[in-house]
Amino acid sequence: MDNFDKFTELINYIEANLDNDIKPLKMAQILCVNEYTMYRIFTFLTGMTLTEYIRKRRLSMAAIELQNSNIKIIDLAIKYGYENSESFSRSFYKFHGIKPSRVKKEKQYIKNFPPYSFANIRTNKELHYKIEEHDEIELYGISKKCYIPEIKKIAPVFWKDLCKDSTYNHILNDYTAYGVIEYDEFFPNSINANYYVASKEHMPHAKKIIIPKSTWAVFRIDEISGDFFYNFSHNAYRNWIPYSGYNIRNIPELEVYNGPGHTEWWLPIESK
């Protein structure tokens, strides 16, 4: 069975229900995970929230209907889940740059936002992992606010700058170092995160981070050059989590740097 069957089914379910009530529980059941994990997977794989994706698809389809039918704006608003024509018109204008009432009257470009295809991110690389229990972990970290899709660009530069700083370089080079990804408290409606460069050793100007006791899926990382770390976690999110029998816990995930050639990615998990 193709590992993308579940994701294709999810997109097909959304497409079939753009003008109906799209149920988060149903989408989570398609991926065989809980709702939080479903939102995490979708955001990580697509770089947008599921809510944003559905909104863009509905507005894209609404514009097509306005061009090709005589449907009233209020009926279109209700059809695509808006409470009234005013809120629909504001959202439509923000997305397309034109009011819905002007679509047929003006020769102006509108946006087409197509259904997402998971076929263009198809990879099936082997993953080496173990399941471990760990007590509470106390770390000290320097943080940077990140937009989640940009972490793969921001984190390496952040590490490089801190490792050059004489205040931190001996700690980060001589002891086990950690990258900590802490999702925004408003996730999935916000896709921001705090990224920490951290250590169990005290660091000047650092914030204390308490990682709760948890079960972890600990993945072995064989290389960390370029975008490999991001691509590796991308692979685990789409090819391991939906088939593993676990959900993701809502606590930070960890990159653990134990020295040259011994790097791990720790994903907090819980049984379904």
Domains and CATH numbers, the chain: 5-102 (1.10.10.60), 129-271 (3.20.80.10)
Number of Cα atoms under 13 Å in the Cβ half of residue 150? 11
Lowest mean pLDDT among 9-13, 122-126, 152-156, 176-180: 122-126
Q: What percent of the chain has pLDDT over 70?
A: 93
- Per-residue pLDDT at 140: 96
Between helix 24-31 and helix 5-16 the angle, nearest 10°, is: 160
- Per-residue pLDDT at 2: 47
Burial of 266 (0-12, 13-18, 19+ CB in 10 A): buried
pLDDT, average across residues 175-199: 91
Distance CA 126, CA 96 (A): 42
Number of Cα atoms under 13 Å in the Cβ half of residue 134? 17
The answer to whether residues 206 and 142 touch, using CB atoms and an 8 Å cutoff, is yes
**Residue 244: CB partners within 8 Å, gap ≥ 6?**
217, 269
Q: How many residues make up the chain in this entry? A: 272
Residue scoring higher pLDDT (227 or 121): 227
Burial of 38 (0-12, 13-18, 19+ CB in 10 A): buried
The answer to whether residues 142 and 162 touch, using CB atoms and an 8 Å cutoff, is yes
- Please report the DSSP string for 211-226 in residue order: EPSEEEEEEEES--ST
- Per-residue pLDDT at 112: 83
The answer to whether residues 200 and 149 touch, using CB atoms and an 8 Å cutoff, is no
Lowest mean pLDDT among 122-126, 132-136, 166-170, 176-180: 122-126
Which runs of E-coded beta strand occur in 104-235? Answer: 129-134, 137-147, 177-183, 192-199, 207-211, 214-221
Three-class secondary structure of residue 155 per DSSP: helix
Could you read off the pLDDT of 23-51 as tens digits, one per residue? 999 999 999 999 999 999 999 888 889 99
The answer to whether residues 25 and 31 touch, using CB atoms and an 8 Å cutoff, is no
Could you read off the pLDDT of 89-136 as tens digits, one per residue? 999 999 999 999 998 887 677 888 888 877 655 555 667 888 899 999
For residue 1, what pLDDT band results from cuts at 50, 70 and 90?
A: very low
Q: Is residue 188 reached through a cis peptide bond, with omega within 30 degrees of 0 on the bond before it?
A: yes
